[in-house]
Copies of this chain bind each other. A is one copy, B any other.
Amino acid sequence: MLQARAGLSTQPEANEDKERYLGVYRWMLLARVLEEKLAILYRGGKITGGVFLGRGQEALSAALGSALKKGDIFGPLIRDMAGRLAFGEDITDAARTYLGSRLGPMRGRDGNIHRGEPAKGYYAMISHLGAMVASVAGGLFARRLKGETGVVGATCVGDGATSTGSFHEGLNMAAVEKLPLVVIVANNQYAYSTSNARQYACEDLVQRALGYGIAGYKIDGTDPTACIETVFEAVARARAGDGPQMIVADLLRLVGHGEHDDFHYMSHALKVSPIGRDCLDVAREQLISAGWATPAHLDNLRDQASAEVENACSTALREPLPDPNQEDWCALHTRRLAEGAET
């Protein structure tokens, strides 16, 4: 099994470390608070459709969103609220998509986790797992053809998604093209209810990196320090031209697959194991023990996050819903080639 490699260049100064960590922490917190709010709204019947949360996976996701720069490409998956926000998503847009506002980026046509703003490099996932790997790779390929350098693309998948043909084809293609693609495998031990034992037979998914000829890293996804170090390093290596990077992070989702799911199937032993830790608790501890923050400071950050979330949700809740009569029922950009909806 591959281990996280040593740092790419000289270690950043302690102060940089601190700022970076605190930055990531803010996104973790904001995502957590927003998702807690969404869960409440869901239980209150305010959200139609499923709600899929990233609780427990915020450190990994926020580290990725923070390591990417404006101009990079990000294809998040369902548990990447933190990464989306860190990558620059407007929190009100996130709320809008859940709450049905017509002003959200998907205008009610698609929902929730499928949101994105592709024109800004923030791709909008389709449900079919694995599909985004090739598409983010394609985005990078385009950038290369256009002569852009120093661009990185990243996408996330779960343990379950690694079984898809799309994941395999996309990653292999990216490896052949030596594209600056970072793939994060959030191994939360389950795909919906299906445990790793029914999903793959290798000792560890990071072993697959060798078979694609790409760099592989293995980390504890509940440890924010490890997430930040490794994700930033992998992104830097990709940016430097080292080709695809795959990070496999062990963790648990501390919620059901969706909010409808009580995840009774989840093993108790795993829940009480180290990967059952809440990365936000770990972060709090790490920040305080490093002397980078006081409890009061962190409580204050949470209050700020709550205010931001309340603001976003109440804005979104006041906005108009989609209206079928005003809707433009045209799937094509080329209007002259559209066939009228038959009624």
Contacts and interface: CB of A to CB of B under 8 A. Distances in A.
A169 B178 contact: no
A226 to B, nearest CB: 22
A172 interface: yes
Contacts of A167: 168
Interface in A117-158: none
A210 B210 contact: yes
Contact of A168 (B168, B202, B205, B209): B168
A201 interface: yes
Nearest to A169: B165
A164 to B, nearest CB: 7
Given A207-B211, A210-B207, A211-B211, A175 B201 contact: yes
A163 B165 CA distance: 9
Contact of A202 (B169, B201, B202, B211): B211
Nearest to A178: B201
Contacts of A176: 197-201
Contacts of A163: 168-169, 172-173
A302 interface: no
A243 B175 CA distance: 28
A212 interface: yes
Interface residues of A, number: 29
A342 interface: no
Contacts of A178: 201
A207 to B, nearest CB: 5
Interface SS, A side: helix
Nearest to A206: B211
Residue of A168, A169, A173, A199 ringed by the most chain B CB atoms within 10 A = A168
A321 interface: no
Contacts of A165: 164-166, 168-169
A103 interface: no
Contacts of A173: 163
Interface string A187-203: 00000000001111111
Interface in A195-241: 197-203, 205, 207-214
A169 B175 contact: no
A178 B197 CA distance: 11
Contact of A172 (B166, B175, B201): B201
24 contacts: A163-B169, A164-B165, A164-B169, A165-B165, A165-B166, A165-B168, A165-B169, A168-B168, A172-B200, A172-B201, A175-B201, A176-B200, A176-B201, A178-B201, A201-B212, A201-B214, A201-B243, A202-B210, A202-B211, A202-B212, A207-B210, A208-B208, A210-B211, A211-B211
Q: Give me the 3 closest cross-chain CB pairs, A-B, nearest first.
A: A165-B165, A201-B213, A168-B168
